[in-house]
């Protein structure tokens, strides 16, 4: 069985008032795992959830921001001592230097069976790990910080394919990813998007929800996922606003819309 496990470490906030999240793909009947984003505290969370860390074959970082990358050293350290298999780490420029410097600081040698792929800020990167196809498409946050959307294509033994598209919550310009989907006529089985609530103070709360750009592209039929998954960082998210999004999409398109919290599993095959 192939499925997606949504993981939140809401107590870890390397960027003030921004909880972190990761997504874990179980593929090839659970033999090969892929971790998308790796913020602080993720290693401990994986252990608590009894995830077989030694089966992680690839880690993809979608942003250089701390809430998506600051846990990379710890998780690589654990993986390197729990498996002799090769690991592929994909991320913005400097990801290899970041991991190497952490091992050097600890007086250890960076593990050799690691394949690093550093992403270009202007070009699409395509890679295949354990017969799972990933397409990583760049966007820009605040005109400086690179962010990336991901298209993951998974096949089972019957050669049935499922395509999952993921936007992280820091992406503001969706055009590159949407254009790639349209130009290549990609059928989306699942679209995942972050719903972020930042608790800036006890009184003032800043909410960021899926932008009208995403909603309108779904409603207007520009992108047509079979499922739309809204990832929430905690059960404290504003239910009224989430329900409004769900009702709007389902009323206009009949697309199944789900909410994913920490520990939510969504089956692909």
Q: Find the CATH number of the domain harbouring 238.
A: 3.60.15.10
Q: Which residues pair with 133 in a beta bridge?
A: 128, 153
List Cα–Cα distances, 21 to 86, 90, 104, 122, 216, in angstroms.
24, 17, 27, 25, 25
Range of 44-53, 87-96, 235-244 with top mean pLDDT: 87-96
How many structural domains is the chain composed of?
Answer: 1
pLDDT tens across 10-55, in order? 544 555 555 567 899 999 888 999 999 988 888 888 888 999 998 9
- Work out the average pLDDT over 86-101: 92
- Work out the average pLDDT over 151-173: 83
Q: Which residues pair with 136 in a beta bridge?
A: 125, 150
State which H helix or E strand residue 96 sits in.
helix 95-105
Residues in the chain: 269
Range of the domain at 184: 3-267
pTM of the full structure: 0.88
**Mapping DSSP to helix (H, G, I), strand (E, B) and coil, where does residue 47 land?**
helix
- Residue 19 and residue 162: Cα distance in Å, rounded? 29
**pLDDT of amino acid 4:** 93
């Amino acid at each position: 069985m192939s499925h997606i496990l949504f993981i939140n470490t809401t107590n870890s906030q390397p960027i003030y008032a921004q909880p972190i999240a990761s997504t874990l793909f179980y593929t090839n009947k659970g033999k090969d795992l892929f971790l998308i984003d790796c913020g602080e505290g993720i290693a401990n969370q994986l252990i608590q959830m009894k995830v077989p860390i030694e089966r992680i074959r690839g880690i993809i970082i979608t942003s250089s921001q701390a809430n998506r990358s600051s846990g990379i050293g710890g998780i690589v350290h654990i993986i390197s001592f729990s498996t002799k298999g090769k690991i592929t780490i994909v991320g913005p420029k400097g990801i290899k230097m970041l991991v190497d410097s952490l091992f050097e600081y600890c007086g250890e040698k960076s593990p050799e069976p690691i394949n690093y792929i550093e992403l270009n800020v202007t070009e699409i990167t395509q890679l295949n790990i354990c017969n799972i196809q990933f397409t990583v498409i760049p966007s820009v946050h605040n005109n400086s910080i690179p962010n990336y959307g991901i298209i993951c294509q998974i096949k089972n033994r019957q050669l049935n394919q499922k395509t999952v598209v993921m936007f992280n919550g820091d992406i503001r310009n969706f055009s590159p990813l949407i254009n790639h989907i349209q130009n290549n006529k990609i059928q989306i089985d699942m679209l995942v998007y972050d719903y972020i609530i930042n608790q800036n103070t006890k009184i003032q709360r800043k909410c960021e929800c899926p932008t009208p750009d995403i909603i309108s592209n779904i409603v207007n039929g520009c992108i047509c996922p079979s499922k739309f998954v809204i990832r929430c960082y905690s059960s404290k998210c504003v239910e009224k606003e989430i329900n409004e999004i769900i009702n709007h999409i389902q009323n206009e398109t009949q697309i199944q819309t789900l909410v994913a919290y920490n520990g939510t599993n969504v089956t692909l095959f």
